[in-house]
Structures are given as structure tokens and as C-alpha cells.
A and B are shown apart, each in its own frame.
Chain A
Amino acid sequence: MDRDQEFGEYMDARALVMLRTAYLLCGDWHRAEDIVQIALTKLYVVWPRVQRGGTVDAYVRKMLVRSAIDESRRGFLRRERAVPDPPDVSVPVATPDLDVRRALAALPLGQRTVVVLRYWEDLSVTEVARLLGRTEGTVKSQAAKGLATLRNLLGTPMFEERR
């Protein structure tokens, strides 16, 4: 199988998952698509190597995080943003997804990234620390603070720090 076919099949299988992770990282579907497109394009370039090494998912995850951080630091968030409040008509008030979105948006970028990697991507503290270039202590601390903030904002008792 050639590069295009293998890559295309991977993309078809994983695009939705990647998009959701990117969305949790950035909070906007259009930006999430941008981030995934960047990650996939980078992946295409190194496809033979990472596929041979069996590290495709890890590489993609790293690219998603880097792209999200880069975009954010380039003033991404200062550009036009999706309206956080629902319009007056046709959308029910305070749907659960909007609550989670708002709560995630309230987290500092570092905490948000750690929470997404740790609890959505199911990475261990060690894996998150390695991916972000931080210490395990920092990751634990940011995860705990992030969860505490989410717990407060969402008013849910289910957010307990996983050991």
C-alpha cells in the first residue's frame, strides 16, 4: 500500500477523534478543524517514519497540542470568536454542552491542555509530562486545579482527581 492510501485510511478512521480532542483544546469547531488539518499535514510528511515506528497516534497528539498552543499564543484567541452565549431564539438555554464549553474556556491554557490529555485522551501523568515538557508534579498540580475549577463551575461532584 502506498503512502497516500495508508495515510488516507488512517485519516478517515481517526479524523473525528482528532477533531474532538482539538475542540476540547481550543473550544471552537472551525479552529479545531484548522488544528487537525495542520496536524494531519505534518503527519503526512513524516508518515513512513512514524508509521514504521508505531507512533502515529502519539505524534498526532503532540502535533494537535503544539498547534493549539501555537495558535493560541499567536493571538488566536484575540481574533473573532464563536459567540459563547446562545441566541435568543431556536436554541435551548444552558444546554449541557455549553456549560462544559464555558467551563473549559475558563481554564488557563496549561490547565485545560492537561485536563484534556489526562481525562479525555486518558494519558498517564508521565505521558502528559513528557508530551508537554513539564514535570510530573506540575502536571498533577495543573490537573488538580483544572478539575477543581471545572467542579466549581459545573457544580458536579463527579470530578474527583484520578490517581
Chain B
Amino acid sequence: MNDIKRVLATAFEAQPPVRLDRAQVIESGRRRLWRRRMAMAGGTVLAVAAIVTTTVFVGFRQPQQLQVGTPIVTGSGAQTPPPSSAGVAQRLTKVLAESRIVPAGITLQALPDSGDALQFQWERNRYEAAADLVNNQGDEGTLFVMVAESKANDARPTCAPPNTCVQREFGGRSVQLTTAPIGSRGEVLLMAHTKLPDGVQIYAMTSNVSVKAATQHGKGASSPTTPAHLLTLDQLGQITGLAGLKL
């Protein structure tokens, strides 16, 4: 050890016990994987590497609310939220909550590390909101909603088999509704996607597997947590057709 290193090491003399918990970190990692999967579920040309290396949910903190601006690229290449992101996220959250598209009998459960249930948070080029859904019978599913900036990659799900697609109109927007079986345990994603004239994309997805189950059992190891999806394609279409969901 060189002299400088030896002096720096004296900073550790009052180090408290390490409190990092292996199981907790792995669960956080699984949630992060899940979010990545949801953001690109069925998508055609999402830049996987970009999403992998920039998604930040664990320890995410609300950005400061200031004026409009563009994302700030740090010296290390990482991005911090644009100053306006907190206000935009708040507005989107309000629009979604006031739409009351999620039926009254369904309880929203917040995901760890992700703020309140269905609270939008900024993430590189997009705003995302997620929650687990629970009905009165205790069946559980998931809802994920994304509003992506025009510069974000195309998030439109593929219609190649085994996926099936239909095109419908909601709120004056042309929306692609997609059903996509995932894996071999019976998980099925229902997705609605639309692209606005300014390039902004609105995407809503529900799964018949809750995030809680997905993160507890690991990738591809979860069976459906509800016999039927708790939201319909029609309801997802209504979400993507909400006039207030825009940037």
C-alpha cells in the first residue's frame, strides 16, 4: 500500500458495520429487471443497452422543481432529470389518478423503490408509473404506464406471432392493442401503445403476474397471480387515449 493510500485508509477507522443485505439487493435488482422488461415488452427496436445502463429506480429521489430545461449530462455521461421533470411527473400522475379508469374494487399497491402507486417518475427520455393491482378476491396483477419523449426509442410492441394486435381509436388517438404471451408459465401481457403527432409515445401494460411475485421468484419463474387480467385491453386503450397524457 502506498503512502497516499495508507493515509486515505485512516478514514475508515470509524466505519460502522456493513448493513447491505444480499436478499434485499437481489430483490431490488429483480424489480429493476422487471421494469426494464415492461418498458420494452414486445417492443421492436428498443435500445436495450441504453435502458440497462441508465434506469434508476433504487434510491431515486425527487428532482428539484424549477424551470423548463433539457436533461443534464454529467461529466461521467450519466443523466440527471431535467428541472421540469418533477412538475411534469406530478401532472401526469394527477391525470391518470383522476381518470378513474382503474375500477374502484381494485387496490393499488406501490412497488418498493418506486414512490407511490402509479406515481410517474422521470427516467431517461420517459416518465414511468407502476403499481401492483389487487382485487377483492386477492388476485394480483400489474399496471405499468409510460409516457416517452419523442427522442425515446420506438416502444410499439411487435405484432409478430405469438403476439396478436388490433388497432382501435381512444380519445381521438389511434392505439395499437397487443396481447403477448411471455414465457411458458402462462404470463400474458396486454399492451396499448400510441404515438402522438409530436412523437411522444403513450404506453400502458398490464400483466397477470404481480411485480411482487415476479421479483420474489425471479425471471420467468412466476405463474399467473390472477386467473384473469385485472384490467382489459379496452381500459389500457382508454389510458393511452387520455388527453392529459402528453408532454
Residues of chain A at the chain B interface (Cβ within 8 Å): 3-4, 7-8, 11-12, 15-16, 19-20, 23-24, 29, 33-34, 36-38, 40-47, 62, 65-67, 69-71, 73-75, 95-97, 99-101, 104, 110, 116, 119-120, 122, 131-134, 147, 150, 154, 156, 158-160, 162
Q: Which residues of B contact A65 (CB under 8 A)?
A: 76
Which of A15, A16, A96, A159 has a CB less than 8 Å from the CB of B3? Answer: A159
Q: Is A100's CB under 8 angstroms from B77's CB?
A: no
A65, B75: Cα distance in complex, Å:
10
Which of A74, A134, A160 has a CB less than 8 Å from the CB of B64? Answer: A74
> Which chain B residues numbered 207 to 221 have a C-beta less than 8 Å away from chain A?
218-219
The 13 sampled A-B contact pairs (Cβ below 8 Å) are A8-B26, A15-B20, A37-B59, A42-B55, A62-B76, A65-B76, A95-B14, A96-B13, A97-B12, A101-B11, A120-B5, A147-B4, A158-B3
Q: Which residues of A contact B77 (CB under 8 A)?
A: 66, 133
Which of B7, B16, B22, B61 has a CB less than 8 Å from the CB of A154? Answer: B7
Residues of chain B at the chain A interface (Cβ within 8 Å): 2-5, 7-8, 10-16, 18-20, 22, 25-26, 28-30, 32-33, 36, 52-53, 55-56, 58-59, 61, 63-64, 72, 74-78, 80, 218-219
Going nearest first, the 7 A-B pairs with the smallest beta carbon separation are A44-B29, A158-B3, A66-B78, A97-B13, A119-B4, A100-B11, A96-B10
Q: Which residues of A contact B26 (CB under 8 A)?
A: 4, 7-8, 44
Q: Is B7's CB under 8 angstroms from A66's CB?
A: no
Q: Looking at B7, B13, B19, which has the most chain A CB atoms within 10 Å of its CB? A: B7
Q: Which residues of B contact A36 (CB under 8 A)?
A: 20
Q: Is B64's CB under 8 angstroms from A20's CB?
A: no
Q: Looking at B20, B28, B77, B80, which has the most chain A CB atoms within 10 Å of its CB? A: B20
**Known A3-B219, A23-B12, A44-B32; further 12 A-B contacts with Cβ < 8 A:** A8-B26, A11-B20, A19-B15, A37-B59, A41-B28, A45-B32, A45-B52, A46-B53, A67-B59, A69-B78, A70-B80, A122-B5
**Known interface pairs A97-B14, A100-B10, A104-B11; A11-B25 also in contact (CB < 8 Å):** yes
A4, B23: Cα distance in complex, Å:
9
A61, B22: Cα distance in complex, Å:
19
Q: Is A97's CB under 8 angstroms from B10's CB?
A: yes
**Known interface pairs A23-B11, A100-B11; A45-B36 also in contact (CB < 8 Å):** yes
Q: Which residues of B contact A96 (CB under 8 A)?
A: 10, 13
**Known interface pairs A37-B59, A45-B32; A69-B8 also in contact (CB < 8 Å):** no
A146, B44: Cα distance in complex, Å:
48
**Known interface pairs A8-B26, A29-B15; A74-B8 also in contact (CB < 8 Å):** no
Q: How far is the CB of A94 from chain B (nearest CB, A)?
A: 12
**Known interface pairs A41-B58, A46-B53; A24-B32 also in contact (CB < 8 Å):** no
B31 — nearest CB in chain A belongs to which residue? A41
A47, B32: Cα distance in complex, Å:
12
Q: Which residues of A contact B20 (CB under 8 A)?
A: 11, 15, 19, 33, 36-37, 40
A119 — nearest CB in chain B belongs to which residue? B4
Q: Is A44's CB under 8 angstroms from B59's CB?
A: no
**Known interface pairs A42-B32, A95-B13, A97-B13; A37-B58 also in contact (CB < 8 Å):** yes
Q: Which residues of B contact A158 (CB under 8 A)?
A: 3-4, 7
**Known interface pairs A37-B59, A133-B76; A45-B29 also in contact (CB < 8 Å):** yes
